Amino acid sequence: MADAAANPIACLLVIGNEVLSGRTQDLNIQFIAKGLGAIGIPLREVRVIPDVRDTIIAVVNECRARFDHVFTTGGIGPTHDDITSECVAAAFGVPWEPHPEAWARMERHYEPGQFNAARQRMATMPRGATLIDNAVSIAPGFTIGNVHVMAGVPRIMQSMFTTLAPTLQGGVPVQSRAVHAAGLLEGAIAEGLSAIQDRYPALDLGSYPYYRLGGNGVALVAKGTDTAALDACIAEVTALVEAQGKAPVPGEPAV
C-alpha cells in the first residue's frame, strides 16, 4: 500500500455488539472505504469493537494518534448501549455536555414532553464538538479533533459522510484500473504478476478470483494515485493475460 504515501490516512471504528455477534451485516465499511479513496484519504485499518466503555476509549486514543483521521460508526442513538459519544469525550479528556445547537434543534423537533432524557443524550457531546448534519435524522454526528463520529444506520451514516467529506483536507484521489478474464487461474499468472508489481512499486496490484454462474475467472486490479503508471501497469497485465491464451476484458466482472 505504497500508493499514496503523501496522502493523509484513515482508520474506521465500527462500534457495536450487533456486528460482532453476526446479528448485523456491516454495510458501512465499503461505502466509507470508497468515499475516502475518492478524496485521497485512504482507509488503512478497520476495527470492529464492542459497546464496552474501556475498549472504546482505548481504541479511540490509540487510533487518533496513529492515523490522520478516525471515523466511527454506531453507538450514538438514545439507548443504553449507545455510549460512543460519552466515550469519545472521555478519550479526549473533555466534559460530555449539552451541545447548544444540537440541543436547540432537537428541542424544536420534538413535541412538548417528548424530548426526554434518552433523546437528550443524542444532543450531549464532547465539549468543542462541531456538528455533522444529515438529511435523514434530526440527530447530528460530530467531529472533535481528528475523530468523526457518525451513526451506524447505513442511510444516516451515508448522509453524514456526504456532508463531512467535502470539509476534509483530502489528498490525491486513489484511482483504479482493472481487467478480468474467464477461465484464468491465479496460479498460472502469479509469477508474471509479481514481476509487474515489482516494476510499479507505487501501485497496489491485486488478484481476485471470482466464481460466477457464467464461469470462474480472475480480476486483476491496480490502484494508485499516478494515472500514467496505472495505464502502463494495466497494459502489462493485459498482455500477461493474453500470453496465457485468455481473453482480457477491461474493468471488473459484472456482479
Task: Rule CB under 8 A: choose which of 7, 8, 15, 19 binds its own copies.
Answer: 19
For residue 100, what are the contacts with CB-CB under 8 A and spacing of at least 6? none
Least Å distance, CB 123 to its own copies, is 11
Stretch that binds its own copies, among 13-21, 95-103, 233-241, 243-251 (CB under 8 A): 13-21
Q: Does 51 bind its own copies (CB under 8 A)?
A: yes
Task: Return d(Cα 179, Cα 107) in angstroms, integer.
Answer: 53
Q: Does 18 bind its own copies (CB under 8 A)?
A: yes
Stretch that binds its own copies, among 20-28, 160-168, 225-233, 236-244 (CB under 8 A): 20-28
CB of 88 within 8 A of CB of 28? Answer: no
Task: Return d(Cα 96, Cα 90) in angstroms, integer.
Answer: 8
DSSP 23: S
Stretch that binds its own copies, among 44-52, 94-102, 142-150, 164-172 (CB under 8 A): 44-52
Task: Rule CB under 8 A: choose which of 63, 123, 125, 193 binds its own copies.
Answer: 193
- Tell me the three-class secondary structure of 34-89, residue by residue: HHHHHCCCCEEEEEEECCCHHHHHHHHHHHHHHCCEEEEECCCCCCCCCCHHHHHH
CB of 206 within 8 A of CB of 177? Answer: no
Q: Give the x-and-dash track for 84-113 against its own copies (CB under 8 A).
A: ------------------------------
Backbone angles phi, psi at 102, to 5 degrees: -65, -40
Q: Does 153 bind its own copies (CB under 8 A)?
A: yes
Site size for its own copies, by CB under 8 A? 66
Q: Which is nearer to its own copies, 64 or 144 (CB)?
A: 64
Task: Return d(Cα 83, Cα 72) in angstroms, integer.
Answer: 12
Binding site residues, its own copies, CB under 8 A:
1, 14, 17-27, 29-35, 37, 42-52, 77-81, 114, 116-119, 121-122, 153, 155, 174, 176, 186-188, 190-191, 193-194, 197, 204-209, 211, 221, 223, 252
